[in-house]
Amino acid sequence: MNAQPDFHSGINQGVAPVTYGQGDRPPRGDYAQAKADYTCDQQWERYTAADHELYRRLYERQAAQLPGLACEEFIAAVKHLGAPDRIPRFDALSETLHRATGWEVVAVPGLIPEEAFFALLAARRFPVTGWIRTPEEFDYVVEPDVFHDLFGHVPLLFNPMFADYMQAYGAGGLKASRLEACEYLARLYWYTVEFGLITTPAGLRAYGAGILSSAGELRHSVTSPTPRRLPFDLERIMRTRYRIDDYQASYFVIDSFAQLFEATAPDFAPIYRRVAGAPEFEADSTGDTRAQTASNTAG
């Protein structure tokens, strides 16, 4: 992040926010209806029969691909989303989630600024986009919708270790936003929460939400010989750019969720200083680096 964060950057101004690392099209969603912290009412009754049917089709397609590709922790937790025939009610889902790990699901209009996002995570509140993609976006949607957020992210919040990692990430993000280091945290989020892989006794498996909610990247990330799969390395991740418009060229592999949680324990301030003075890795780099300032890499 090149500029000092605005004190008000985490407060809803009633319009689509300027979000870190996004393209030219403003985020979708009705921000005028959101509260100061960007949360809003789900307004479940506004979903149409077609919306519920689209959710069911998306759910069933992804669920069929999970065996042998998704980690067992995720597969075991998907059932907590309830029957796939309709979009879940966030309040009912939150009751179940809170009993398990102390988290809750809150609705947001769409993409929200980093500070608002970090603050919600730090309070164990996971923001889920209220709207669902159009039928024309069945295979690919540019920004996260209710299916991506629910199916991809929420199941692992039932895992205590991963749930604690997400809260620690949010707390770390609030600090990073004041150290002009959000770009490094965005990369960590991207290569773990969104596109992370894990080694299991049964072999390599996916746990990242961007993989698990994708029609094609789930199999690609686990079985394709094309991408590089690198051991988890915090500083290497923070120095590595990534693609937002294609399958990932590189994935980072953790040994356990405990390893991921332990990685958030140290004070990142000295790490940020070291990373800031080091050359960066391109998304498709095999190891060579280029000393250049990244400008558009967050998701």
Residues annotated catalytic, as ranges: 148, 153, 194, 213
Tokens of 227: 């991408």
Q: In this structure, how many other beta carbons lie within 10 angstroms of the beta carbon of residue 99? A: 10
Q: Rounded distance, CA 94 to CA 102, Å?
A: 9
Select from 201, 168, 170 the least CA-distant residue to 72.
Answer: 201
Query: Edge-to-edge strands of the sheet including 250-254?
Result: 203-206, 197-200, 250-254, 228-231
Angle at 205 between CA 204 and CA 206, to 5 degrees: 140
Select from 113, 143, 148, 115 the least CA-distant residue to 31.
Answer: 113
Cβ contact 193:153 at 8 Å: yes
Q: Rounded distance, CA 85 to CA 73, Å?
A: 23
